[in-house]
Structure 1
Amino acid sequence: MSDAALLELVQRQTFLYFWEGAHPVSGLARDNVGVLSNLENDIVAIGGSGFGVMAIIVAASRAWISRESAATRLTLMLDLLERATCFHGHFPHFMNGSTGAVIPFSRKDDGGDIVETSLLFQGLLCARQYFDQDNEAEKRLRERITCLWRDVEWSWHTRDGRSVLNWHWSPNNGFSLVHEIRGWNECLVTYVLAAASPRYAIDASVYHDGWAQGRSFLNGKSYYGVELPLGPPYGGPLFFSHYSFCGLDPRGLKDIYADYWRQNTHHVQINFEHCVHNPGQHKGYGPSCWGLTASDDPEGYNVHTPDEFTCACGYGCGNVAGRCCRRHAPDEDNGVISPTAALSSFPYAPDAALRAMRYFYDRLGDQLWGRFGFADAFSQDINWFSKSYSAINQGPIVAMIENYRTGLLWSLFMKDPDVQAGLRRLGFRSPDLS
């Protein structure tokens, strides 16, 4: 198979996670799906559903499905989102895909999750731009997305006007988790959308005094000869360069802190070089087998990084991204490779990503490839291959490959007037703002 044909196959097969593997009632993205069969639960992921919306847009633009079918699926998703339990307009991390009821993530995390909500609206705002035809179905889609978008009280998560956003709020527990969102991590899009809100926008000081004052924000050191502008040592897991940037176009995106194209390409290069140098002597690592991020793991769900990673999830477990396995120890490189890490890096390192794709498919395909693309993770040290897929990992594969191929989702998100207003409010510069 040619490289172009393989790229098309991987992207299209991965999209099926959000089409054939979606919740049968609402069409929202299941949090996890088995390699061989669907899990017998109703858990859907709000952030994963945002990536699902983006995948559906890609599928329609590539004629894998019709535009009408895509609009019908989004209509089904909005049907549940509109009647689902929300908290000052914010959605929970998990909900029941049939009823819209909250499924608590932990004892105190049973309310609104501003980060998951921002990942959902990253996708929905792309849909509002994509479905631009003057017919009743698409006009109604745009109107419904706008109503949900305008209802989100982003400023509520500043806890009575403090200069930082807080990750969670619960009607039962308030802000008792005290999980302030400070950078650098995957939450840049959360601050951009909070500043972009037409009704409940945060002030720029929340970004500068909160997000940019994190202990792991500024870096400036070099790892494997590559300078890292922002972030923890060695850059942290690769989803930092993926989640927010499925919509945010890092090309030429700058503010007073960083050039975000440079930040992301350097982050990916450090991750790649770590796997090439392979200080842990893990089997299989090299120029064709690389990529460390959060994913399934022989011990559960872990964050895999080139270096020990400081807990930022608020539960003292060593993990981040709002997905906590509650193992009370920091995680690092334990030999687990996550295909999404390399494949979602196509815009930043296309040659290295393509080599990894060929290796995953040609060398490991018998054990790694399945009905919705590559399984979540593997370790050749112990001949372990995950038996599941994850929405939060499959989604960026589809979105970032498309941004590499056509820039479609970057174009849709960056031309949204509210997004542009938010970027300007925070002092960003971008070719899309000129």
Structure 2
Amino acid sequence: MTYESKTSPLPAASAAGFPPGSAEASAEKAAPAAKFDPRKRPRNLTDDQLLDLVQRQTFRYFWDFGHPVSGMSRERSNVAYDYGNEVVTTGGTGFGIMAIVVAADRKWITREQAATRIYKIVRFLEKADAFHGVFPHWMNGATGKVIKFGAKDDGGDIVETSFLMQGLICARQYFTADTPVERDLRNHILWMWENVEWNWQTQGGQNVLYWHWSPNNGWSMNHQIHGWNECLITYVLAASSPKYAIEKPVYDQGWAVGPEFKNGKEYYGIKLPLGPDLGGPLFFTHYSFLGLNPHGLKDQYADYWQQNQNHTLINYAYCVDNPKKYKGYGPNTWGLTASDSYKGYAAHNPKEDLGVISPTAALSAFPYTPEQSMRALKHFYYDLGDQIWGEYGFVDGFSEQHNWYAKSYLAIDQGPIVGMIENHRSGLLWKLFMSSPDVQRGLTKLGFESPQIIRK
């Protein structure tokens, strides 16, 4: 996919990031919001203060820049392709919901504000286009109508839906108070979760999940979901469904047979159990593991903590080795994953290295490589911040080699920064997601072990 970047003005928002409707936000309305100036960013912060600032600033992408009608997460901050300003993203909204839960827990917004925003999203989705309970990749944030992601991709996307449901399950486990808004939110999330026909995506009972189905094009995209990649959560949730679950053979014969599933080789002296050579883009270690806790998570194929940590360490070692001699690469500047680049959108990884560093790669890796990630964060913020720090956190990518610095932010890259830093700090999202009885049942069905699974 190639995105054409035509930067459009971002909506005015306060540097403090006060929630709309708060007394602070009302007071700010008396004067026009000043244009964000990265040169005025706070200095000499403690590590905790820096993490707070980065999480909170990045959260504003989902709070201040959320779609005004639906509350859903916009695909990106700039206009790309010709799809206009209304495009919201299903998976990115799931990541945004998790960011809102983090914000409530850290009291950047009130619990009621968070529950109300997520309830708004859920009620919008109940009226939006869905296909056997499966939502499309993109939709119009004002109308809920499908926006095509590709020529035939105008129906349900089970992977994007799994990212959404991961976030909604976290929200349902968090908002447990006996208040009208939290009770209603839990009920509506449950109905939506129960309504997803995961087994429909096996195309008539095959032992594999298919990524897409469309009422106009049927199964013609014919994209089977094999591992190893970002889609583990899709199989886990498909097995966890209360009404439309898949069985273990779908996992074993669909997911675990991909041509790049088993690896077992060493790179830079580090063994990689699963995945393509040198590991692939780092989002493989982020998207499924915002909710799934990889600590002690094992099945017959891998130890998923070892898998994710080693993948990250290989990515880090490659950037330090810097075989293409790109300017800037090193212990303080590392992290290859899918993001914008000077050539358009690219799935950056050691096998597709364009000299572009994506800040989300190292920052979302905090649970796996805390020391290396903190070094990168300090360098990104203190040394490169004039170029890459903005009103929604760090921009999507940069290349010192090509003197290129993105102006864009993407939901699927900003969300994991908030969520994975929080998992590093408190384990909040891991605790919430893994506490779901449905998730525990699905993991057990697929043969997973985890300290979080309660055996009955």
Instruction: Pick the TM interval, shorter chain.
Output: over 0.9
Instruction: Tell me the equivalent position of 1:151.
Output: 195
Query: Does 2:168 match 1:137?
Result: no
Deviations 1:388-411 (A, max 9, x none): 000000000000000000000000
Instruction: Tell me the equivalent position of 1:10.
Output: 54
Choose which of 356, 360, 379 in structure 1 pairs with 2:380. 360
Query: Does 2:357 match 1:337?
Result: yes
Q: Tell me which amino acid in the other structure corresponds to 1:90.
A: V
Q: Tell me which amino acid in the other structure corresponds to 2:253.
A: D
Matched residues in 2 for 1:213 and 1:79: separation? 38
Query: Does 2:167 match 1:123?
Result: yes
Aligned length: 407
Secondary structure of residue in 2 paired with 1:431: coil
User: Equivalences for 1:18-417 in 2 at 5 Å?
Assistant: 18-34=62-78, 41-307=85-351, 332-417=352-437
Structure 2 gap segments, 5+ residues each:
1-44
Secondary structure of residue in 1 paired with 2:244: coil
Secondary structure of residue in 2 paired with 1:389: coil
Matched residues in 1 for 2:279 and 2:408: separation? 26
The alignment-based identity, stated in percent, is: 62
Aligned-pair distance for 1:107?
Answer: 1.2
Aligned-pair distance for 1:34?
Answer: 3.9
Secondary structure of residue in 1 paired with 2:292: coil
Secondary structure of residue in 1 paired with 2:65: coil
Matched residues in 2 for 1:382 and 1:217: separation? 34
Instruction: Tell me the equivalent position of 2:13.
Output: none
Secondary structure of residue in 2 paired with 1:44: strand
Secondary structure of residue in 2 paired with 1:306: coil
Instruction: Tell me the equivalent position of 1:317.
Output: none
Q: Tell me which amino acid in the other structure corresponds to 1:193.
A: L
Secondary structure of residue in 1 paired with 2:442: helix
Runs of 4+ in structure 1 over 3 Å off = none
Q: Tell me which amino acid in the other structure corresponds to 1:11.
A: Q
Deviations 1:206-241 (A, max 9, x none): 000010000000000000110000000000000000
Matched residues in 2 for 1:346 and 1:161: separation? 39
Matched residues in 2 for 1:273 and 1:5: separation? 28
Deviations 1:350-376 (A, max 9, x none): 000000000101111001000000000
Deviations 1:187-215 (A, max 9, x none): 00000000000000001000000100000
Q: Tell me which amino acid in the other structure corresponds to 1:230.
A: L
Q: Tell me which amino acid in the other structure corresponds to 2:315.
A: N
Deviations 1:118-150 (A, max 9, x none): 000000000000000111110110000000000
Aligned-pair distance for 1:78?
Answer: 1.2
Deviations 1:217-270 (A, max 9, x none): 000000011000000000000000000000000000000000000000000000
Secondary structure of residue in 1 paired with 2:355: coil
Secondary structure of residue in 2 paired with 1:72: helix
- Which entry has the higher C-alpha Rg, 1 or 2? 2
Matched residues in 2 for 1:338 and 1:55: separation? 19
Deviations 1:301-332 (A, max 9, x none): 1000111xxxxxxxxxxxxxxxxxxxxxxxx0
